[in-house]
Amino acid sequence: MTAPDSAGWKGSPFFSRLVLLIAAIYFIPTLLPSLFGWLLGVLAVPVAYVLTVEGNEKGVITLRNSLLIAGAVALLSGQLELFLFTLTLIPLGYSLYACGRSNKSEAVTGGYSVLTLGISWFVFWTIYGIFSGIQPYQHLVDLLDAGFVQTYELYKTNSELPAEMQARLSTVIIELRELIPRILPGILCCSVLVTVWMNQVVLNSLLLRRHPDKTNRPPYSSWKLPEQLVWIPIAATILFLLSNNGLKDLGLNMILVSGVVYFFQGLAVFIHLLGRWKVPAYLRVLLYVMLVIQSYGLVLITLLGIGDTWMNLRPEKEDEPPSQGPKSDPDR
């Protein structure tokens, strides 16, 4: 006899609670992007979570039904384009699931997932550009440049600003207009990295909290990058300092990308140290806020991540039992 709780989750293919929940997670951000647009960045989590918990065969059916409902709502509300963009995170969700199923490390999972999402977004924007007649990358450059010009004109017409301040502002705007196109590839790569990181961390937290038997991943505070990666920021810095023109820009973009990667590790070290020192929860929140509003805090966290490569700020406990892998799944 099937347990009532299990029956409630199975239900009708299109009207079970799980199907409707996943459908809502996908169509709510498209209906109310100003309020729930932040959800667009973590829409790979439902895919990986459902496949991990329900298994591949049943999970695919659940996701198919959910996306059909969400797609119908998006079509009726006139938000089909935005909904189609959310589908670009489905390959990322499957990549996270497949890597977890194969017991790949956090760093390897992140690498595969970055490649998957990068290809997915490239294909989407290429197809979008073909149908819309717009070159997406150049259009983005033009929009950013127009935004800087508009900002300058707005402050220029402000008679309350001293002439010296307007001259400084003009210099800053000119430098930004020249710098942004040079570092835009790195910024776009960083957006892919941040998206993958958010989905990977949220998925790991959900599984550890609700289904610890389905994962063998440690908490985020224990995640580590391969030691060999530390040569990337070193090489990028040398390239930036000793080269000119295109190679200098390449080094600058590499510094941006590697800085984001080591920020992730530095944040994990920071969280680990707060736990080791038993810092109260309210003080932790205050420290996190300070990190966000202080640019120097972000740099320090990045340096902390690089320093962890050599100083081993998170030594493993000798008496800690080895983590057990996930239990066997009948659908695998």
Residue 209 lies in a domain: no
* Residue 155 confidence (pLDDT): 75
Residue 266 lies in a domain: yes
Confidence bin at 323 (pLDDT 50/70/90): very low
Q: Which domain holds residue 230?
A: 218-315
Residue 23 lies in a domain: no
Residue 166 lies in a domain: no
- The two three-digit tokens of residue 26, written as one number: 């996908």
Residue 237 lies in a domain: yes
Q: Are 33 and 190 in contact (CB under 8 A)?
A: no
Residues 6+ positions from 92 with CB-CB distance below 8 Å:
44, 47, 113, 116, 117, 120, 195, 196, 199
* Domain count of the fold of the chain: 1
Residue 278 lies in a domain: yes
* Helical packing angle, 90-101 and 44-54, nearest 10°: 40
**What is the distance of C-alpha 76 from the center of its chain?**
29
Residue 192 lies in a domain: no
* Residue 166 confidence (pLDDT): 77
Q: What is the pLDDT of residues 115-162, one digit of tens each?
A: 999 999 999 999 999 999 999 999 999 999 999 888 878 877 766 777
* Residue 2 confidence (pLDDT): 40
Instruction: Answer whether residue 4 shows pLDDT above 80.
Output: no
Instruction: Answer whether residue 236 shows pLDDT above 80.
Output: yes
Instruction: Answer whether residue 57 shows pLDDT above 50.
Output: yes
CA dist 219 → 9, 118, 222, 264, 276 (Å): 28, 26, 6, 13, 14
Degrees, nearest 5: CA angle 313-317-310: 25
Confidence bin at 319 (pLDDT 50/70/90): very low
Q: Are 199 and 96 in contact (CB under 8 A)?
A: yes
The one-letter code for the residue type at 171 is T
Instruction: Answer whether residue 9 shows pLDDT above 50.
Output: no
How far is 50 from 93, CA to CA, in rounded Å? 10
Instruction: Answer whether residue 321 shows pLDDT above 50.
Output: no
Degrees, nearest 5: CA angle 263-264-270: 80
Residue 258 lies in a domain: yes
Confidence bin at 45 (pLDDT 50/70/90): very high
Confidence bin at 209 (pLDDT 50/70/90): very high
* Residue 296 confidence (pLDDT): 87
Higher pLDDT, 84 or 162: 84
- Per the prediction, the chain carries an average pLDDT of 88
- Average pLDDT value for residue range 190-209: 97
